Amino acid sequence: MKLYDGGRAPNPRRVRVFLVEKGISVPLHSIDMAALEHRGAAMTALNPMGELPVLELDDGTIITESIAICRYFEAWHPEPALFGRTPLEIATIEMWQRRIELRLMNVIGQVFRHTHPGMAKAEVPQVPEWGEANRPRVAAFMSLLDGHLAERSFICGDAISVADITGMIAVDFTKPARIAVPPELENLHRWHAMMKARPSAVA
Amino acid sequence: MKLYDGGRAPNPRRVRVFLVEKGISVPLHSIDMAALEHRGAAMTALNPMGELPVLELDDGTIITESIAICRYFEAWHPEPALFGRTPLEIATIEMWQRRIELRLMNVIGQVFRHTHPGMAKAEVPQVPEWGEANRPRVAAFMSLLDGHLAERSFICGDAISVADITGMIAVDFTKPARIAVPPELENLHRWHAMMKARPSAVA
């Protein structure tokens, strides 16, 4: 088994943090995203999407999409459960994982890709107006998440889940995207600091 | 239990088709999306995202996000399994469900929202340049999916999965988005016709 990895980019990091939280070790093979190696012939032969991470099983089977890779490991190693156990836990974690991914992490991604000069080569065409249109959406969701965290230690209750992992990485992603996290969002800052204090955060 | 439903919009329909395939009946409560009722005070009190569908359980618990709602029902009623059973099935179905949702359905959605005059009121700001930038991405993914379907009856092998449901709805979504499905994509057309012939397609 081999995990093609992409360094500091949010999605590859999501899977590495997940693996540390699960206590699973997988051999990594580093791909140079700055040099667009993930879009080259060798990697697009494995993943036509030209994205990372990519999991290659021993028989050559390929699994792409961060959350699909995480679910593969969760199915083999159910504990600690990061996708929930009961129907309501499973649905609640999926709901928040998706809200955070689609309405925070990926929206920050649109700001980053469409406004950052360093992304001009990778994002064609860059549409600055679209990047800017996403800034207020980031702010609105961070505020909503702050309110949600007022009554909870973790995003889905008393235990860490994959929603917290996506959330931590989304908040970290504000830095390269040059988006400020308002200091008055105290619950969000408290939860983020707690996540960053976990050993998995350095993965 | 009550499912707040949004008529012909892709996400509400996704859940209805899923429920028919599972053989589950849930009382529907119709929300008028054309009148933006889903963004009104009553609905945003249930789902601050202002989106449909929304599942309300008998104790008032709210589950949003189509796939989270589908997973809730799958957890209570495992058969027929539409999210897979083995670790590899679970991962493969999640991979394709996500690829199709994120790189086809939602990309068609960007074309629709940012180029269709009828969406000017709901999508603020409309960024036509961004809508147009997504057209070639739709074409590229449809071509990839056509190649994938050359060797399979369903997207993940011999049985229907949630990936096929998202796929059928994505292809149907090309019509209001005014995107042509190239006639030479014969595998895609064959698979889509097969899906449209199932009783669930009219849901």
> Using CB atoms, which residue from B63, B69, B99 is nearest to A65?
B99
- Residues A68, A95, single domain; the answer is no
Residue A98 and residue A39 share a domain: no
Q: What is the pLDDT of residue B34?
A: 87
The reply to whether A142 and A180 lie within a common domain is yes
Which residue among B63, B95, B133 places its CB closest to the CB of A125?
B133
- A82 in a domain, yes or no? no
- Domain for residue B81, yes or no? no
**CA of B158 vs chain A CAs: smallest distance (Å):** 18
Alpha-carbon distance of B140 to A71, in angstroms, equals: 27
The total of structural domains in chain A comes to 2
CA atoms within 13 A on the CB side of A130: 23
pLDDT above 90 for B122: no
Domain match, B64 and B114 both: no
Per-residue confidence of chain A (203 residues) as pLDDT tens digits?
A: 999 999 889 999 999 999 999 999 999 999 999 889 999 999 999 999 999 999 999 999 999 999 999 999 999 999 999 999 999 999 999 999 999 999 999 999 999 999 999 999 889 999 999 999 999 999 999 999 999 999 999 999 899 999 999 999 999 999 999 999 999 999 999 999 999 999 999 99
Last residue of a domain, one of B76, B97, B124: B76
- By the CB < 8 Å criterion, does B125 face chain A? yes
* B98 in contact with A, Cβ within 8 Å: yes
Please indicate, yes or no, whether residues B43 and B92 belong to a single structural domain of this protein: no
Residue in B174, B189, B157, B166 with CA at minimum distance from that of residue B101: B166
Which CATH number characterizes residue A46's domain?
A: 3.40.30.10
Quick one: B98 and B64 in the same domain? no
Interface check for B154 against chain A (CB to CB < 8 A): the answer is no
B162 by Cβ neighbours in 10 Å (0-12 / 13-18 / 19+) ranks as: buried
Is A148 in the same domain as A95?
yes
Question: What residues 62-91 of chain A have any CB closer than 8 A to a CB of chain B?
Answer: 63-65, 67-69, 71-72, 75-76, 86-88, 90-91
In a domain, B82, yes or no: no
Structure-block tokens of residue B13: 């329909």
Q: Which residue of A has its CA nearest to B99?
A: A65
pLDDT at residue B157, rounded to an integer: 86
Structure confidence at residue A161 (pLDDT) = 98
A125 contacts on B by Cβ (under 8 Å): 129, 133
Q: Find which of A94, A104, A124, A141 to mutate to test the B interface (most B CBs within 10 Å of its CB).
A: A94
- Is A129 close to B129, i.e. CB distance below 8 A? yes
Q: Is B26 on the interface with A (CB under 8 A)?
A: no
Domain end call among B51, B76, B101: B76
**Is B92 part of any domain?**
yes
User: Could you tell me if residue A81 is inside a domain?
Assistant: no
CATH of the domain at B110: 1.20.1050.10
Report pLDDT digits (tens) over A11-70: 999 999 999 999 999 999 999 998 899 999 999 999 999 999 999 999 999 999 999 999
* Predicted pLDDT at A7: 87
In the numeric block, the tokens 């949004």 are attached to B6
The Cα–Cα gap between A180 and B198 comes to: 49
Which B residues, 155 through 174, put their C-beta within 8 Å of a C-beta on chain A? Answer: none
What is the three-class DSSP state of A49?
coil
In a domain, A69, yes or no: yes
Indicate whether B47 pLDDT > 90. Answer: yes
A167: distance to nearest CA of chain B, Å?
A: 17
Predicted confidence at residue B121, as pLDDT, reads 87
SS3 B142: helix
Residues B120, B21: one domain? no
Residue B53 has what pLDDT?
A: 97
**Does some domain include residue A27?**
yes
Whether B117 and B197 share a structural domain: yes
pLDDT in tens, B54-95: 999 999 999 999 999 999 999 999 999 999 999 999 999 999
Q: How far apart are alpha carbons A145 and A147 in whole angstroms?
A: 5
Percent of chain B with pLDDT over 70: 100
Token pair 């028989």 in the structure block, residue: A59
Cα(first)–Cα(last) distance of chain B, in Å? Answer: 19
pLDDT score, position A28: 97
Task: Answer whether residue B19 shows pLDDT above 90.
Answer: yes
Domain stop point among A54, A76, A98: A76
A99 and A54 in a common domain: no
Chain B residues within an 8 Å CB radius of A129: 125, 127, 129-130
B130 and B156 both lie in a single domain: yes
pLDDT attached to residue A34 = 87
Q: Where do we find the tokens 């009946």?
A: B25
Question: Which chain A residues touch B11 with a CB distance below 8 Å?
Answer: none
- What share of chain B has pLDDT > 90, as a percent? 95
- Do A192 and A124 belong together in one domain? yes
pLDDT of residue B154: 98
User: Is B127's CB within 8 Å of A125's CB?
Assistant: no
Does the structure show a pLDDT above 90 at B182? Answer: yes
Q: Which chain A residue has its CA at the smallest distance from B56's CA?
A: A88
CA distance B9 to chain A (A): 18
Phi, psi of B58 (to 5 degrees): -60, -25
Do B129 and A127 count as a contact with CB atoms less than 8 A apart?
yes
8 Å CB contact between A111 and A180: no
Domain that holds residue A65: 2-76
